Amino acid sequence: MPPPRKQHYGIKHASGSLIHYRPPVSAITQRRHSAVVPSVLTFAVIVASGGLLLMIEKGMLNSVETPPPRANGKRFARNNNPAADVESQILQEIRNRTIRSMCGQRNTPNSVWSLSPLQRKTLLQHVLVNDEHRFLYCYVPKVACSNWKRVLKVLTGALANVDVKMKMDHRADLLFLSDFSPEEIRHRLRHYFKFMFVREPMARLLSAYRNKLGEIEAYQRKYGAEIVRRYRKGYAKTRKIAGNDVTFTEFVRYLIDEDPERMNEHWMPITNLCHPCAIQYNFIGSYERLESDAAYVLERVGAPQHVRFPERQTWYRPVTKETLHYYLCTVPQKFLKELLPKYILDFSLFGYSLPNTTTEYCRH
């Protein structure tokens, strides 16, 4: 496990001033990894207040309540909920702003070519290409990526429509940026519309846990068994383990000890998959507002009217606020304090606030 660094975040604020946060001395003298947490919390507050400042600056707080009519607003033509449009735009600006300030830091790779070979490989293998409509989509597992892949297959004619009943083949009939030469990659990065979709990081992890470790035997055998062997007392040397009863806490402990750059894509931090500093995404949609954000993207890339984003599958089990609250509260504080820093960029860059996991809150 790489030792957590003391992090000094410098954030360009709305006013242009630079805020440097240093963890208080008392925090540093505690155990080393817990020293990260105060800066993490403060950072989230800075991000949140930066967003708020921006909204005040733009006079947008009122328009959230009473969105202006957008009679000639072509942008969200498929979307008949103007409030959602305004919210979405605010979110885009917040994301743009935080990403710009974070990516402006020294030593942050600002292009695909300044990433390490491993980082570049991961990124290029996650960017799907559509040449006809000239767009790039960085897919993030557990963020509706199967449905986007369906849409891409319909756009190229590999699939008749998005509702065709079939198991998703995650490779066939899809073009990845990694299939192209550096020159071809450069051209597409420069000229195509680039988008990705994000999701509240802990909800995404819970979804991966429930789906992969809860339901998929191959994952239970490969990851579940390993997790049990590592973290359950008395199992270290057991040879035959089904791995089908991993607890969420055990999963969290496993994540804490893994290298984010080598994790399985279903729980690798979004930032490590899509590198929003290396690629300037034109649009970063939210899983939480999937319907309207997806409609916007389809409009934006000029998809034919009959191509729409699929409905949720019938087997879809949502991660509700209550479910997430329940699972997070089963995890001992000390593990959450180590887990959150690993996903801190997914929280901060995309404008999600850290979950409240105080003892008080979990008592409810």
Ligand X SMILES: *[C@@H]1O[C@H](CO)[C@@H](O)[C@H](O)[C@H]1NC(C)=O
- Positions in the binding site for ligand X (CB under 6 A): 89, 92-93, 96, 280, 282, 356, 358, 360-361
Measured from the CB atom, is 80 or 356 closer to ligand X?
Answer: 356
CB of 172 closer than 8 Å to CB of 320: no
Sign, Cα dihedral of 113, 114, 118, 120: negative
In whole angstroms, what is the distance from residue 85 CA to residue 296 CA?
Answer: 9
Q: How far is the CB of 274 from ligand X (least distance, A)?
A: 14
Report d(CA 154, CA 159) in Å as an integer. 5
- The DSSP 8-state label assigned to residue 269 in this structure reads -
Shortest distance, position 226 Cβ to ligand X, whole Å: 34
For residues 51 and 224, which CB has a smaller minimum distance to ligand X in the complex?
Answer: 51
Kindly compute the dihedral angle of the four CA atoms of residues 199, 204, 208, 211, in this order, to the nearest 10 degrees.
Answer: -80
> In the structure encoding, which two tokens stand for residue 322, read together?
């209550």
Question: Between residues 238 and 358, which has the closer beta carbon with respect to ligand X?
Answer: 358
Rounded distance, CA 1 to CA 12, Å? 31
Nearer to ligand X, 322 or 360 (CB): 360
Beta-carbon count within 10 A of 181 CB:
8
Given the structure tokens 């994952």, which residue do they identify?
219
Complex with ligand X: residue 88 or 130, whichever CB lies closer: 88
Q: Which is nearer to ligand X, 243 or 355 (CB)?
A: 355
Q: Tell me how far, at minimum, the Cβ of 41 lies from ligand X, in Å.
A: 8
Cβ 325 to ligand X, closest distance in Å? Answer: 10
Give the shortest CB-203-to-ligand X separation in angstroms: 17
In the complex, the smallest distance separating the C-beta of residue 91 from ligand X, rounded to whole angstroms, is 9
**Cβ neighbours, 10 Å, residue 65:** 8
- CB closest to ligand X, residue no: 361
